[in-house]
Structure 1
Amino acid sequence: MVYLVAAVAGLAGFLFGFDEGIIAGALGLLRGQFGITPFMEGMVTSAVPFGALFGALVAGSLAASLGRRTSLLMAGLIFVGGAVLAGAAGGVWTLTAARIILGFAIGLAAIVAPLYISENAPAKHRGMLVSIYQLAITLGILGAYLVGYAFSESWRTMFMLGAVPGLALALGMFAMTDTPRWLASKGRLGEARAVIARIRGSDPRDAAVEAEMNAITQTVQASAAEGTWADLFAPVVRPALVVGIGLFLLQQVSGINAVIYYAPTIFQAAGFTSSSSQLLATVGIGIVNVLMTFVGMALIDRVGRRRLLYLGFAGTALGLGLIAVGALTDMQALGPLALAGLALFIGSFAASIGPLPWVMMSEIFPLKVRALGMSVASLANWGMNFVIVFSFPTLIATLGLGGVFAIYAGACVLGLIFTRLRVPETSGVTLEAIEAHLRSGRPFRDLGATPQAHPPGGSALAPRA
């Protein structure tokens, strides 16, 4: 049952990837039909992360008040409306408005979907299950690239097709229940117990269900009042906030969304002359993205979060470095080198620094401020996403392919240092135990390094020393 829950919520990730990736195939047609300038191109392209800023801003309060399920249902309906408006757009401004609406839905769902999965998942499989969201993003990107290739003469069809998974998300969430933690926070303890039993495939009177319910209830009682912004920025929560924001900033400064949005443009700069070869190379990168996400899902609960981050930042730095060196030295084999470097970059990203910020964002914040904390981390994500995507055409024109990718490679090296100094190990640790560690006052990066980081359910509320 928990896999079905993750799959339905993961449709939000598919829509995220689709609505980000579809512009790569549509830009050429839009240039021809509307004669858009480079500034207008940047505006249309960056409208999605711009809209997502506003979705992320309200997602925390909506998820806390209306619930995780209702918020995702709303996002699905907004996806449908945005896709239809984009496909029917009569000009650049209407299309930009439609993509802002789609971005709003993405920003909302990007917080609530991982939260929904995390709060339903058992601790030992939580990383893999939340990673389904990232897998869905990669499938959405690949789907967008394939749709762009198949409907290369109709940008309207490309955008309209996004309404189908949006409707599926809305219908799927209509049939689901909310998470046991949100239900318990609203005093609906009987419903919470029933959800745990159904998801775990157990009787509501089972001892394991009882133990999980007791741990959740104790945490809810300790955080009886609704979380506020002051609570989020309190010293006890600050280490989690630094990790959540830091991982997303580093994820974006790796340049991933510049690659996703402008993949054909990058391949053109690398020497792929025909539009068909650019699109096919882009589809190839999309396939690597999907396959390596499966690798990350297999490793995330076995290798651990920190080790996987080390591998991911090292691999992305190396891949981007290959492209930068090839471009800066004007190598004859720049095309194949760029393809190999991008494949290494995308593969390392998909297995590590792609899913891990989403997974850890849904784990590290205390229940009382979890939705608010995820909102702030997502604001950092979408703000930097907007900056990277909007600035990419100008940076390419100013610094060239080599200079831009050298900057992105340097950011990945910084990611290695940040992981060493700040990031905890949350693999296999219950959400209640993570909260207890924050309250203890011990360094956050020490979580998972000692047996004390895994207290039994009843000790998850140890007072702060």
Structure 2
Amino acid sequence: MIYVVAAIAGIAGLLFGFDEGVIAGALGLLRAQFGITPLDEGLITSAVPFGALFGAILAGWLAKPAGRRSLLLFAAVLFVAGALFAALAHAAWVLGIARLVLGFAIGIAAMIAPLYISESVPAARRGMLVSIYQLAITLGILGAYLVGYAFSESWRTMFAVGMIPGLALFVGMMFMSDTPRWLAMRGRRDEALATLAKVRGVPKTDPAASAELAEIVRTAATDSRDDKGKLAELFGPVARPALIVGMGLFLLQQLSGINAVIYYAPTVFQLAGFDSAEIQILATAGIGVVNVLMTLVGMALIDRIGRRRLLYIGFAGAAFSLGVIAIAAASGSPDLGILALIGLVLYIASFAASIGPLPWVMMSEIFPLNVRGPGMSFASLANWGFNFVVVFSFPVLVADIGLAGVFGIYAVVCVAGLVFTRLYVPETNGVPLEDIERHLQSGRPFRDLAPAAGR
């Protein structure tokens, strides 16, 4: 049952990836039909992360009163509506608004879906199961590239296809309950026990399920009694270390340049010397395949070698590969195209196995229950804010400082990620959410958190 929970919530990630990636295949057709300017192109493209900013804010403040399931159902409705309006758009500004709606839905789902999975599944498999969300994102991106190739003459069909997973998310969530932790927080203990037992695949009378629920209820009762679910508490001494890690990882993830590659992959290959549009599309699809395959590798490793070690590997690999691209571009090497392709493959591999999934996983783990919604909202704001900055700035930076300068900046960010991981990131692998919260309350450095011996 835990895989069903993760798979249904993961459809939100599929929609995230699809609605991000589909614009890459549609831009050429949109330029021809609407005669859009470079500014229009930037606005239409960056409307998704801009809308997601506001979706994340709403999700953060409604996660506690409205519940995780209700928000995912609402996001599903927005996904369907946004895809429909995009497919029917008669002008560039209408398409921009439709993309804004899709971004709003992504902002909600990108915060709530990992939270839904994290609060539902056992600690021992939490990392791998939350990573299903990131896997779904990569599948959505690849799917968008393939849809763009299959319907290369119809941008309306490309956008319309996005309604299908939106409907699937709505139908799937209709058959799901909310998370045991949210139900316990709302005082619905019997429902929480029934849901916990169902997800674990055990009867309601199982002693382990009862003991787990008792710990959840104890934590929820303490949080409610202390009334600490205020914004000020998120910046207080208990939750602040988690906020630094959550926002910091997303800042580093985005400034590593991933969405410059996702949104502008054909442009990057063109700048690297691949003049054929067909080769650009095939190379872009190849990047999508690598993204999916290496996300599977990351899922296999995340609960085996731990979060910190995987972050070290990811940031080191990304820094090296981005550096290769930057040096090749700066030197004017005649082999720039081949080196850029190799560098991008290594970069995507490093990102997909580590830097991509881990911020989503850790965001869903590290915040105390009472400020989990607002905390994840702020982490999501860092994600979408810097996503917008990277996507909007990439064409401008390339024009000003060239491909070498842009990828050089991204490489330096990845080096900073190694330092950040060493100084601030804890090891949450296999640690129950309630134990993470107790460590934060102890006042010890957050980075000193580690799984108990023998866990």
Q: Which TM-score bucket, shorter chain as reference?
A: over 0.9
Residue 230 of structure 2, aligned match among 228, 231, 240 = 228
2:443 counterpart letter in structure 1: G
Give the match for residue 331 of structure 2: 329
Give the match for residue 299 of structure 2: 297
1:385 counterpart letter in structure 2: N
Deviations 1:193-213 (A, max 9, x none): 001111111111111101101
SS in structure 2 of the partner of residue 271 of structure 1: coil
The CA distance in 2 between the partners of 1:226 and 1:25, in whole Å, is: 47
Deviations 1:138-159 (A, max 9, x none): 0000000000111111111101
Give the match for residue 340 of structure 1: 342
How far 1:226 moved relative to its partner? Answer: 6.5
Give the match for residue 461 of structure 1: none
Residue 251 of structure 1, aligned match among 229, 253, 260 = 253
Residue 279 of structure 2, aligned match among 277, 280, 287 = 277
2:330 counterpart letter in structure 1: L
| Structure 2 counterparts to residues 67-82 of structure 1, below 5 A | 67-82=67-82
Contact 1:319 1:341 in 2 (8 A): yes
SS in structure 1 of the partner of residue 172 of structure 2: helix
Bigger shift: residues 196-205 or 31-40: 31-40
Contact 1:61 1:371 in 2 (8 A): yes
Give the match for residue 388 of structure 2: 386
The CA distance in 2 between the partners of 1:424 and 1:374, in whole Å, is: 17
Contact 2:287 2:348 in 1 (8 A): yes
How far 1:314 moved relative to its partner? Answer: 0.5
| Structure 2 counterparts to residues 369-380 of structure 1, below 5 A | 369-380=371-382
Contact 1:59 1:112 in 2 (8 A): yes
2:291 counterpart letter in structure 1: N
How far 1:31 moved relative to its partner? Answer: 1.2
Deviations 1:6-29 (A, max 9, x none): 000000000000000001101111
The CA distance in 2 between the partners of 1:96 and 1:440, in whole Å, is: 48
4+ long deviations beyond 3 Å: 449-452
Contact 1:289 1:350 in 2 (8 A): yes
How far 1:231 moved relative to its partner? Answer: 1.4
Bigger shift: residues 33-42 or 432-441: 33-42
How far 1:220 moved relative to its partner? Answer: 0.6
Deviations 1:305-333 (A, max 9, x none): 00000000001111111111111101111
Deviations 1:372-428 (A, max 9, x none): 100000001100000110011111111111110000000000000000000000000
2:71 counterpart letter in structure 1: S
1:289 counterpart letter in structure 2: N
Is the counterpart of residue 419 in structure 1 residue 421 in structure 2?
Answer: yes
Give the match for residue 459 of structure 1: none
The CA distance in 1 between the partners of 2:357 and 2:207, in whole Å, is: 33
Q: CA RMSD in A?
A: 1.0
Deviations 1:229-260 (A, max 9, x none): 01111111100000000000000000000100
Give the match for residue 319 of structure 2: 317
Give the match for residue 239 of structure 1: 241
Give the match for residue 159 of structure 1: 159
Contact 1:118 1:130 in 2 (8 A): yes
Contact 2:431 2:451 in 1 (8 A): no
Give the match for residue 411 of structure 2: 409
Deviations 1:44-91 (A, max 9, x none): 100000000000011012211111001001100100000000011111
Is the counterpart of residue 108 in structure 1 residue 114 in structure 2?
Answer: no
How far 1:298 moved relative to its partner? Answer: 0.2
SS in structure 1 of the partner of residue 89 of structure 2: coil
Give the match for residue 87 of structure 1: 87
The CA distance in 1 between the partners of 2:174 and 2:228, in whole Å, is: 26
SS in structure 1 of the partner of residue 377 of structure 2: helix
Give the match for residue 396 of structure 1: 398
The CA distance in 2 between the partners of 1:267 and 1:153, in whole Å, is: 21
Matched-pair identity in %: 68
SS in structure 1 of the partner of residue 156 of structure 2: helix
How far 1:450 moved relative to its partner? Answer: 6.1
How far 1:274 moved relative to its partner? Answer: 1.4
Contact 1:38 1:393 in 2 (8 A): no
Flag the 1:449–1:7 CA change in 2: closer, same or farther, 3 A.
closer
How far 1:449 moved relative to its partner? Answer: 6.5
The CA distance in 1 between the partners of 2:304 and 2:362, in whole Å, is: 15
Contact 2:428 2:451 in 1 (8 A): no
The CA distance in 2 between the partners of 1:393 and 1:67, in whole Å, is: 40
The count of corresponding residues between Structure 1 and Structure 2 is 453
The CA distance in 2 between the partners of 1:449 and 1:299, in whole Å, is: 16
The CA distance in 2 between the partners of 1:393 and 1:97, in whole Å, is: 22
TM-score, scaled relative to structure 1: 0.96
User: What 5-or-longer segments of structure 1 have no aligned partner?
Assistant: 455-465
The CA distance in 1 between the partners of 2:97 and 2:36, in whole Å, is: 16
Give the match for residue 138 of structure 2: 138
